[in-house]
Amino acid sequence: MGRCNVCFRHCEIGDGKVGFCGARTCEDGTVKALNYGRVSSIALDPVEKKPLARFCPGSYVLSVGSFGCNLRCPFCQNNEISWSDEAFE
């Protein structure tokens, strides 16, 4: 078992289990990231969709994200892609 101190939840994670976010696991007492290098969403969007006032108008921005969230907000636009399946076991 290991304790993750990445965020305020300070999860105690048993070997082979995942923390609340579903992005951290524990192997032999060491907490490790499960989502490193794993992409769950990628999108090319007009820069105007981002909170960047008057930054390169008319250009595009690439958004890349992975899974793992320490919240459970039902109204989140990423509700269906923000957790791994393991987060619900």
Q: Which residues contact 70 (CB under 8 A, 6 or more apart)?
A: 7, 8, 9, 20, 21
Q: Taking CB under 6 A as the rule, which mask of x and - marks residues 41-60 in contact with ligand SF4? A: --------------------
Q: With contact defined as beta carbons under 8 Å apart, do 73 and 79 qualify?
A: yes
Residues facing 32 on adjacent strands: 25
Beta carbon of residue 3, minimum distance to ligand SF4 (angstroms, whole number): 8
Beta carbon of residue 61, minimum distance to ligand SF4 (angstroms, whole number): 26
Calpha distance 3→27 (Å, rounded): 11
Q: Taking CB under 6 A as the rule, which mask of x and - marks residues 67-86 in contact with ligand SF4? A: ---x----------------
Helix, strand, or coil (residue 75): coil
Ranges within 5-44 binding ligand SF4 (CB under 6 A) = 6-7, 9-11, 19-21, 23-24
Contact positions vs ligand SF4 (CB under 6 A): 4, 6-7, 9-11, 19-21, 23-24, 70
